[in-house]
Amino acid sequence: MNSILHNLLHNCKNLIMYFPRMIKGKNALKAKENILTIKRNLPRDKIKVGFIVQMPEIWDKEAPVFEALLRDDRFDACLIVVPHYDYSKDMLCSYGDELEYFRDKYPDVSIITLNNADDDIIDDSYDYVFYQRCWELYLPVQLRCRNVIKHAMTCYTPYCYHCVPEDHSYYSKYFFWYLNKFYCCSEDQAEEVNKIGKIESVYLGYPGFASLDYYKKNSGNINILWTPRWTEDDHYGGSCFYGYKDKILDLLDISDSISLKLRPHPLTFENAVKEKRMTEVEVKEYIEKINSSGASFDNNKIVGETLRDTDILITDFSTVVVFYFVSGRPLIYCSDTNIPMTGLFRQILDSVYIAKSWEDVYRITKDLVNGIDPLYEKRQEVIRKMDVSKDSVSKIVEDLYKTLN
* Same domain, residue pair 236 and 190: no
What tens digit of pLDDT does each residue of 2-11 get?
455 545 444 4
* Same domain, residue pair 360 and 267: yes
CATH of the domain at 230: 3.40.50.12580
* Same domain, residue pair 174 and 263: no
Farthest-apart Cα atoms in the chain, separation: 76
Containing structural domain, residue 39:
2-208+390-403
pLDDT for res 181: 93
* Same domain, residue pair 279 and 203: no
Distance CA 281, CA 19 (A): 48
Q: For the ranges 20-24, 231-235, 275-279, 323-327, which has the lowest average pLDDT?
A: 20-24
CA atoms within 13 A on the CB side of 357: 3
Distance CA 142, CA 80 (A): 13
* Same domain, residue pair 164 and 278: no
Distance CA 281, CA 288 (A): 11
CATH of the domain at 19: 3.40.50.2000
Give the total number of structural domains in the chain: 2
Question: What does the mean pLDDT of the chain come to?
Answer: 87
Distance CA 77, CA 98 (A): 18
* Same domain, residue pair 353 and 396: no
- The average pLDDT across 190-199 equals 76
On whether residue 216 sits in a domain, the answer given is no
Distance CA 96, CA 28 (A): 34
* Same domain, residue pair 281 and 200: no
* Same domain, residue pair 334 and 235: yes
Residue 73: how many other CB atoms lie within 10 Å? 7
Q: Are 315 and 323 in contact (CB under 8 A)?
A: no
What tens digit of pLDDT does each residue of 64-81 get?
999 999 999 999 999 999
Supply the pTM of this predicted model.
0.82
On whether residue 68 sits in a domain, the answer given is yes
On whether residue 365 sits in a domain, the answer given is yes
* Same domain, residue pair 123 and 239: no
* Same domain, residue pair 138 and 274: no
Q: For the ranges 99-113, 135-149, 195-209, which has the lowest average pLDDT?
A: 195-209
- The average pLDDT across 45-67 equals 95
On whether residue 200 sits in a domain, the answer given is yes
Residue 166 or 150, more confident: 150
* Same domain, residue pair 47 and 107: yes
Distance CA 20, CA 56 (A): 36
On whether residue 145 sits in a domain, the answer given is yes
On the question of pLDDT at 18 being above 50, the answer is: no
* Same domain, residue pair 398 and 381: no
On the question of pLDDT at 25 being above 70, the answer is: no
